[in-house]
Structure 1
Amino acid sequence: MNRRSLISLTVAVLAGAVLLAGSVVAIPILALLDTAAQASVCGAPPIAGATPPEPGTAHDKWDARQVTNAAVIVSVGKQMDVPAWGYVIALGAAMQESRLLNHANDNPAYPQVAALSMALPHEAVGHDNDSVGLFQQRPIEGAGSWGTVQELMTPNIAARKFYTALLKVPGWEQMRLTDAAQAVQRSGYPEAYQKHEADAKALAAHVLGLPNIDMIGGGGPAAPCGTGAFEPVPVGPNGWVQPLDKKFVVGPPFGQDRGDHKHAGVDIVGADIRGEPIRAAADATVIRVVCNTPSNNCDRDGGIGVGGCGWYADLRHPGNVVTRYCHMIQRPSVQEGQSIPAGTVIGFVGSSGNSSGPHLHFEVHTNVTDGERLSYANAVDPVQFMAAQQAPLPVR
């Protein structure tokens, strides 16, 4: 049996299991596959250096009932061919709405819902209006009803209804978890879902048997199949590659006067650049992965005057050269201390921090000793430097 067939069979087994009415015990079904087979869901090798969740945190905080419900939610997403970022959104929504427990409702203001829901198998009891189930969907909202009480308290049906609504949200793949979940749920607390992102990613990876949900594109907006899904790029004769595709061009130049400082790098810009993969410009050790804004909130677009580099990474290359990559759309896909080859996808273009729109701010610093701070004083013009490395940046 080839790997693709084995994956299809495994998904079918999991799908069949979660349709049972009883208390199926969730296990990381896809752990039966080797790492290469797991990643072939996206037709690409896994991320080099993907980091498993730390023991004692993340998925370990959920009991067997909650993990079972999470497996149902993820399995339904796979059946519907929803991208993996959708699994994370759905899990984050259910964590906020129900703590991943299938809720009945005994609110006396809705006696029919109370009678029906309490008579059905349930794991917890709530009182919020007439909301029931994993996603606290409402059964008697007239034309806006989510479905019957029995449907909404059947986890796989409730999950399908959530995904169906999510897929109708324009641009949901580019949204933060909380914005996408809110577009479906219309909660009175629209920011409440965001705090569950790390847990949702870890639990999705756990039930799939993956070390990291990034491997199949669940790492965040605009990562359609994870960093492993992008083909290798040819490395130049001096070991350097362009950090972005050649269709994008250098905009504001090195040394441009910014009033209170000079531009220590160049901005690479272009149409439809948001979500484009950013690559390590040469073999490197990751020395810094940081969210740098005054509010320490980089999981959204910034703006002029916001301050900071947003999500960024610094890479140290042979010869005391350090490169910096700013304004990523989400936390970089690499870890501090990780060694990576030239061309590794380290993140995706965004507009976090002090940014007028999606672009990559790219810096090159030379003669930087260990621990030395990066500054305009040790920065060089990336256009000239990359040209000398025979990996020229595209200029207008």
Structure 2
Amino acid sequence: MSIPRPRKIALLVALVATLVLLCCGGSVTALLVGGFNNDDKNANLNASGGGCGKGGPVDPDTQLPRIRPYGPEQIRNAAIIINVGADLKMPPRAWVIAVATAMQESRLNNLGDLGARNDHDSQGLFQQRPSSGWGTAKQVRDPVYAATKFYNKLKTISGWERMSLTRAAQRVQISAYPDAYAKHEPIATQIVNQLADGAANAVGNSVAMLCASAGQIAASGWTLPVGAAVGSGFRTASRPTHQGVDLIAGKQTPISAAASGIVSKVKCDEDHRGRRTCNVDGYPGKGGCGWMVEIQHAGNIMTRYCHMVVKPFVREGQEVTAGEIIGRVGSSGNSSGPHLHFEVHLNNDRSSAGAIDPVKFMREQGTPLGGAG
């Protein structure tokens, strides 16, 4: 018996929803099925923002979530970009890169010819230039066509999956402002998660998605600093001033940058007696972080890595990518044994006022701490 196409789509959604693994407390289905074009205002998008795995079709004109500072038409354009990526079998990391790029280029507006305000002949969501071979002016103003051209160019870039978002976007766009894309990564991640049921929390392809383990980078751009069990937690009753978590790993275990960014601090932290003695094992009550690194990431997020066994492998001002090895686990400073003390701070605030719970934060990025290496 022949199954009608709408029924086939419904069965596919149900099948994948059954097979998909629960990631970080919510399912990661990310299936925007059913194509549409720029003229189809009533097209159905499988855009669920709840992470509950229902993924039912919605009316994009009335039911798409409102994600500040973007309006309904801008969010609809983001949904088109995501849908094209899914149709092309591009992984969710590509969706985040594409949405962030369009945020920078057009604020997710499908711009036409702006006359004197145009950057040369750039038009559309991605400000693609007909004179540079992207297509005709009419074509680049078609969001489906423009997104397809973006993804097809991204595919040709070797190793784009492990690049920082700004580097991957720049390789496609060749922009005069190559560092401008990074600031959009957090909201682009939020948009993908809300429109595609948590897809930015996943690694792998757009159908079979898993949470990231050590060495894998989630679509959010984050990865585990080490694959290790969580020991002492964040601001516990017994340690209320503990501003991070301890990840229990053996001495010399490689430590990865949790996301792409710029190294802002590398030092041997002083102990309570003002000494910088980081090349030896520490002890409880000694004080200080030992050998440590701080990295500033997109969205004014900072991560801190403490108690390394030897001087870190990076220098201040160095650009690092997610997963890049920055040092090795040790027990220097205020430490009772080998582990990585890992902190996450908001607003690039190095003080305790900026610290947040790394367990909750990393789970939201699709990289739950405690994953095996």
Q: For this structure pair, what is the TM-score category when the shorter chain's length is used for normalisation?
A: 0.5 to 0.7
Shift of 1:61: 1.7
2:335 paired with 1:379: yes
Is the aligned partner of 1:213 residue 2:193? no
**1:301 touches 1:352 (CA, 8 Å); kept in 2?**
no
> Is 1:362 aligned to 2:349, yes or no?
no
Letter in 2 for 1:170: S
Q: 1:5 aligns with which of 7, 12, 15?
A: 15
Quote how far apart the aligned CAs of 1:148 are.
1.4
Instruction: Report the Cα offset of residue 34 of structure 1.
Output: 3.3
Does residue 123 of structure 2 align to residue 132 of structure 1?
A: yes
Matched to 1:189, the amino acid is Y
Counterpart of 2:26?
none
Task: Specify the code of the residue in structure 1 equivalent to 2:173.
Answer: Q
SS in 1 for 2:233: strand
In the alignment, the residues of structure 2 paired with residue 5 and residue 199 of structure 1 have an alpha-carbon distance, to the nearest angstrom, of 30
Aligned AA for 1:300? G
TM-score, normalised to structure 2, is 0.53
Pick aligned residue for 1:29 from 43, 47, 51: 47
Question: Does residue 233 of structure 2 align to residue 285 of structure 1?
Answer: yes
* Mapping for residues 133-212 of structure 1, pairs under 5 Å: 133-141=124-132, 145-210=133-198
Q: Distance in 2 between matches of 1:289 and 1:203?
A: 28
1:307–1:6 distance in 2 versus 1, CA, 3 Å: closer
Q: Equivalent residue of 2:226, what SS?
A: strand
Q: Among the aligned pairs, what percent are the same residue?
A: 30
Q: Secondary structure at the match of 2:329?
A: strand
Q: Relative to structure 1, is the Cα distance of residues 352 and 6 closer, same or farther in structure 2, using a 3 angstrom cutoff? A: same
Alignment gaps of 5+ in structure 1: 39-56, 109-125, 219-223, 231-243, 246-273, 291-297, 310-318, 336-349, 365-374, 384-396
Relative to structure 2, which stretch is displaced further, 85-94 or 130-139?
A: 85-94
Q: 2:85 touches 2:94 (CA, 8 Å); kept in 1? A: yes
Aligned to 2:80: 72
Amino acid at match of 1:5: L
CA distance in 2, matches of 1:204, 1:151: 25
- Aligned partner of 2:359 in structure 1 is none
Distance of 1:328 and 1:58 partners within structure 2? 34
Question: One-letter code of the match for 1:188?
Answer: A
* Pick aligned residue for 1:59 from 62, 67, 81: 67
Higher helix share: 1
Partner amino acid for 1:34?
Answer: C
Partner of 1:52: none
Amino acid in structure 2 at the alignment position of 1:214: N
Partner Cα distance (1:107, 1:308) in 2:
52
Normalised by the length of structure 1, the TM-score is: 0.51
Show CA shifts across 1:63-98 (max 9, x none): 000000000011111111212111111111101110
Change (3 A) 1:33 1:202: closer
Cα separation, partners in 2 of 1:188 and 1:20, compared to 1, 3 Å: closer
Is residue 107–residue 128 contact of structure 1 (8 Å, CA) maintained in 2? no
The answer (yes or no) to whether the contact 1:329–1:351 under 8 Å persists in 2 is: no
2:112 matched residue in structure 1: 104
Count of residue correspondences: 250
Secondary structure of the structure 1 residue equivalent to 2:121: coil
SS in 1 for 2:229: coil
1:329/1:352 contact within 8 Å kept = no
Report the CA distance shift for 1:32/1:299 in structure 2 as closer, same or farther (over 3 A): closer
- What is the CA-CA distance between 1:328 and the residue it aligns to? 9.2
8 Å CA contact retained: 1:134, 1:155: yes
1:315-356 Cα offsets, whole Å, 9 max, x none, are: xxxx99x99997699979xx9xxxxxxxxxxxxxx9766689
In structure 1, C-alpha distance between the alignment counterparts of 2:17 and 2:290, rounded to whole Å: 39
- Cα drift, residue 20 of structure 1: 4.9
Q: Quote the Cα distance in structure 2 between the aligned partners of 1:7 and 1:167.
A: 27
Distance 1:352 1:22, change over 3 A: farther
Q: Are the aligned partners of 2:121 and 2:129 in contact in 1 as well (CA < 8 Å)? A: yes
C-alpha change, 1:188 and 1:160, in structure 2 (3 Å) is same
Against the structure 1 CA distance between its residues 88 and 206, is the aligned structure 2 distance closer, same or farther, given a 3 Å change threshold?
Answer: same
Which letter does structure 2 place at the counterpart of 1:196? H
RMSD between aligned residues: 4.7
Give, in whole Å, the separation in 2 of the partners of 1:351 and 1:70.
Answer: 39
Measure the CA separation in 1 of the matches of 2:159 and 2:119: 30
How far residue 60 of structure 1 moved from its aligned partner, in angstroms, is 2.7
SS class of match (1:307): strand
Larger Rg: 1
Residue 137 of structure 1: CA displacement? 0.2
Closer, same or farther: CA 170–301 of 1 in aligned 2, 3 Å: farther
